């Protein structure tokens, strides 16, 4: 992760900046986010990243076997104290397609909400600069980490027979105990933490004069329950 928040200097007589193709922007999100966010500051683009994120989550949900969706339904019914029907195959197939198709609508809305709330907080509370279009572009690309991470988790979820399995810090440190720290780390998905850190980095670059580590820690703090 790059922690560079200096605004780039563009020559007024130089050629206009052109946005990189979406595949290049995806690679830069993972490998050189600072360079990508400098580009998005000059030319914010979010539509392609939003579409890719929604499609990734949709396909990942569709690829989860129906029997794992049955386990999710059983768990929800038990939590609600309801009786479990003998045959849940139809409900499981329905749940899989609802989750898959629903993500095409839910994912863009989630990105809009995160970009709107975060930009509001940092602009009003911390006096950061940046337009909403810029924050949305940064958020849409940062959130690709979580969307693409669903494919990495898919084999693990199938192997563990757990459709709701997350990759957390507690997965690497199982002896965290039952205290506040242990409970917190069990619910902090590493892909989502990575995405939030990128959003914080992007905020510092959009502002052009802020310390990137402080912005990253501020964004990560939003994940602490």
pLDDT in tens, 67-105: 887 777 777 777 777 767 767 777 777 888 888 899 999
**Count of CB atoms within 10 A of residue 216's CB?**
21
DSSP string, 183-219: HHHTT-BHHHHHHHHHHHHHHHHHHSSS-HHHHHHHH
DSSP 81: T
* Within a domain: 11: no
The partner residues of 189 in beta bridges, in order of sequence, read 168
Q: Kindly state the greatest CA–CA separation across the chain.
A: 72
Task: Please state the φ and ψ torsions of residue 14, each to the nearest 5 degrees.
Answer: -75, 170
* Within a domain: 2: no
* Within a domain: 8: no
Q: How many domains does the chain have?
A: 1
* Within a domain: 1: no
pLDDT in tens, 11-57: 444 444 567 899 999 999 999 999 999 999 999 999 999 999 999 99
* Within a domain: 7: no
Which of 223, 213, 155 is closest to 184 using CA atoms? 223
**Tokens 């602009």 correspond to what residue?**
123
* Within a domain: 12: no
* Within a domain: 60: yes
* Within a domain: 4: no
Predicted structure pTM score: 0.80
Handedness of CA 12, 13, 17, 18 (dihedral sign): positive
pLDDT in tens, 150-190: 888 888 878 877 777 777 766 666 565 565 555 556 667 88
CA 215 to chain centre: 17
What's the domain range around 173? 22-221
């Amino acid at each position: 992760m790059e922690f560079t928040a200096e605004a780039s200097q563009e020559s007024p007589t130089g050629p206009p900046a052109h946005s990189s193709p979406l595949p290049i922007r995806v690679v830069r999100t993972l490998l050189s986010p600072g360079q990508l966010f400098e580009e998005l500051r000059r030319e914010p683009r979010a539509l392609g990243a939003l579409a890719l994120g929604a499609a990734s989550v949709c396909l990942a949900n569709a690829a989860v076997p129906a029997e794992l969706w049955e386990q999710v339904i059983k768990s929800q019914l038990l939590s609600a104290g309801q009786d479990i029907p003998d045959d849940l195959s139809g409900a499981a197939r329905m749940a899989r397609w609802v989750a898959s198709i629903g993500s095409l609508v839910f994912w863009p809305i989630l990105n809009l909400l995160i970009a709107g709330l975060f930009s509001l907080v940092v602009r009003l509370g911390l006096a950061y600069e940046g337009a909403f279009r810029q924050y949305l572009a940064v958020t849409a690309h940062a959130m690709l980490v979580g969307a693409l991470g669903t494919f990495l988790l898919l084999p693990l979820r199938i192997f563990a027979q757990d459709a709701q399995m997350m990759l957390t810090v507690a997965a690497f440190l199982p002896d965290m105990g039952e205290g506040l720290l242990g409970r917190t780390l069990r619910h902090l998905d590493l892909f989502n933490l990575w995405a939030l850190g990128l959003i914080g980095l992007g905020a510092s670059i959009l502002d052009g004069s802020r310390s990137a580590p402080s912005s990253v820690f501020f964004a990560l703090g939003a994940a602490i329950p």
